[in-house]
Chain A
Amino acid sequence: MKHFTFAFVLFMLGVSILGCAAPVSQPTAAPSVCTLRLATTTSTYDSGLLDAILPDFEKKFNCHVDVVAVGTGQALEIGSKGDADVVLVHARAGEDKFVKDGFAQERFDVMYNDFVLVGPKEDPAQVKRAQSAQQAFKLIADSGAPFASRGDKSGTNSKELSIWASAGITPTKGMKWYNALGQGMGETLLASNEGKFYALTDRGTWLSMTAKLPNLEIVFGGNTIDENPDKHLHNPYGVMAVNPDKFSGINAAMAKNFVQWILSPATQERIGAYGKDKFGQALFYANAAK
């Protein structure tokens, strides 16, 4: 069995060499290989949009895009620490603050989709008769039907909280029907499907996951974005290049290219077309200012 000791030592040596060689060589190799780090929300990545449009950018500028897909709150935090070159998020208040605090020079409209309220097919709170999101939320609160909140400071979470505020309701953990999950959109929808909760979701994530959510349906927001009766549910995405003056090491030139590229007519057209073949409707509407 002596040879086994030998084999094990060899194995450990092997993995450590493999393990050390690859990553350690990376920082030195980094300057020669162009990478752009994009901090974005899970919805743009998980919906498949970025996989569909990014190859064009990478080819055009010969620059690889590293996508870090997290909640909007975390994406903005990553940007404000200088750990990303460009951010693509959806939380208008947070974005404006990001610019005001000097972490980016300017914010640009890229696209929007919309939020919808989903809930159990039986619709215990009879939300379907609501005329506005505000009214729908009130109906849920009044009936005490369980509601699942992302509870994670994401763009969707902050939208949800603003609707509660407009309805004059302050959700607290003392309310039995209100469940702040502290999880991503996918997890929240899956939990809602199991527990028959109402939940606010962006339409893109909903469409891409409907097949896995047999107990849920849209109870407010219409079947397409054009049918959404409440314009307050529009969900704008903004792009910002991180201010290179604040930190060293930001790939500012490429970040600028990225912003110009995503706002360009060709990319905007591609964004608007994404999802039509797969879902029968667009997941995002491009709205960059001309």
Chain B
Amino acid sequence: MDDITRGLAQALELILSGDAALFEIVLLSLQVTGAALALAMLAGIPLGAALGLGRMRAQGLVTIFLYTGMGLPPVVVGLFVYLMLSRSGPFGSLAWLFTPSAMIVAQVIIAFPVVAGLTMTAVQAVDPQLRLQARALGATRIQEMWTVLQEARIGVVAATVAAFGAIISEVGAVMLVGGNIEGKTRVLTTAIVLNTRTGDFALALALGMILLTLTFLINGAMLQLQRVRDG
């Protein structure tokens, strides 16, 4: 119990004192996860929509791959990205290993199936009448997709929220490909592991609470987006 109360106190103290190292870690967490999420959305939403509208060949196979991808253990993704980016691997010349770029690559791979898979489900649930109507009004394919996506907005935001939650809290992959280098690739989750490893439970817990607060605020913002139409 002692550690828990101390953790709470330390979390408040860290936030209020404007700790520079903490700020750096929080900023990098947001940068890496934000970039990964944006890229995953950019690729995942159109693919999910196309799948949901039944426009793809080998629909079943792609769907199975997406669903399997949702269950990928982050460490496995990390290991794969590590071997790809290693100097002895095919993309070694990029020199991305142990940089934020490598962390973004890993997180995109984790987030993409979640975004695409859940977007697909959301689009599938849209009343087919709407598409027929849109097409009858002379909508192009892209316009039709856009109309359906807007209708499936709640589901698409839910897909984004789920993907965000999966990668902001993920540690296995970023630890492996980022290396938890102080001031360079240390993010909230890897800092938590480090402090747990060295027995600084209160500090680890404080960082955990900060991560949770951050996630809460961002999810709150995304939820507002879901309500936009109704408000």
> Does A associate with B in a complex?
yes
A15 with B86: CB separation less than 8 A: no
A133 to chain B minimum Cβ distance, whole angstroms, is 25
Cα–Cα, bound, A186→B35 (Å): 33
B87 with A2: CB separation less than 8 A: no
The stretch of B93-101, B117-125, B135-143 in contact with A is: B93-101
User: From B41, which residue of chain A is reached at the shortest CB distance?
Assistant: A12
A248 with B87: CB separation less than 8 A: yes
Given contacts A11-B221, A81-B86, A212-B199, contact A16 B35 (CB under 8 A): yes
Answer whether residue A238 sits at the interface, using C-beta atoms and an 8 A cutoff: no
B182 with A26: CB separation less than 8 A: no
**CB 8 Å contact bits of A208-240 with B (1 = contact, 0 = none):** 110011000000000000000000000000000
Partner of A4, one of B86, B89, B224: B224
B87 with A19: CB separation less than 8 A: no
Answer whether residue B172 sits at the interface, using C-beta atoms and an 8 A cutoff: no
Which chain A residues (14-51) contact chain B, with CB distance < 8 Å?
Answer: 14-16, 18-20, 22-24, 26-27, 30, 37, 42, 46
A81 with B87: CB separation less than 8 A: yes
B38 with A187: CB separation less than 8 A: no
The stretch of B26-34, B53-61, B126-134, B206-214 in contact with A is: B26-34
Partner of B86, one of A5, A26, A83, A185: A83
Answer whether residue A139 sits at the interface, using C-beta atoms and an 8 A cutoff: no
Which chain A residues (28-80) contact chain B, with CB distance < 8 Å?
Answer: 30, 37, 42, 46, 66-70
Interface residues on B, range: 35 or more
Cα–Cα, bound, A15→B103 (Å): 15
A82 with B101: CB separation less than 8 A: no
- A-chain residues with CB within 8 Å of residue B199 when the two chains form the complex: 186, 189-190, 209, 212-213
B166 to chain A minimum Cβ distance, whole angstroms, is 16
B31 with A247: CB separation less than 8 A: no
- A-chain residues with CB within 8 Å of residue B231 when the two chains form the complex: 1, 4
B197 with A186: CB separation less than 8 A: yes
Q: How many A-B residue pairs have CB under 8 A?
A: 124
Given contacts A8-B222, A42-B197, A68-B180, contact A82 B86 (CB under 8 A): yes
Partner of A16, one of B38, B97, B194, B222: B38
A83 with B98: CB separation less than 8 A: yes
Cα–Cα, bound, A1→B228 (Å): 5
A290 to chain B minimum Cβ distance, whole angstroms, is 33
A144 to chain B minimum Cβ distance, whole angstroms, is 28
Cα–Cα, bound, A186→B227 (Å): 46
For the residues of A in contact with B, the DSSP-based class is helix
- A-chain residues with CB within 8 Å of residue B36 when the two chains form the complex: 19
B25 to chain A minimum Cβ distance, whole angstroms, is 14
Cα–Cα, bound, A24→B228 (Å): 34
Partner of A15, one of B30, B98, B184, B194: B30
Partner of B227, one of A1, A12, A190: A1
A23 with B196: CB separation less than 8 A: no
B35 with A247: CB separation less than 8 A: no
Given contacts A22-B100, A68-B179, contact A15 B35 (CB under 8 A): yes
User: From B39, which residue of chain A is reached at the shortest CB distance?
Assistant: A16
Cα–Cα, bound, A261→B229 (Å): 64
Answer whether residue A195 sits at the interface, using C-beta atoms and an 8 A cutoff: no
B47 to chain A minimum Cβ distance, whole angstroms, is 18
**CB 8 Å contact bits of B45-83 with A (1 = contact, 0 = none):** 000000000000000000000000000000000000000
Binding site for B on A (CB under 8 A): 1-2, 4-5, 7-8, 11-12, 14-16, 18-20, 22-24, 26-27, 30, 37, 42, 46, 66-70, 81-83, 184-187, 189-190, 208-209, 212-213, 247-250
7 A-B residue pairs with CB within 8 Å: A15-B37, A18-B31, A18-B34, A19-B35, A27-B94, A184-B197, A189-B199
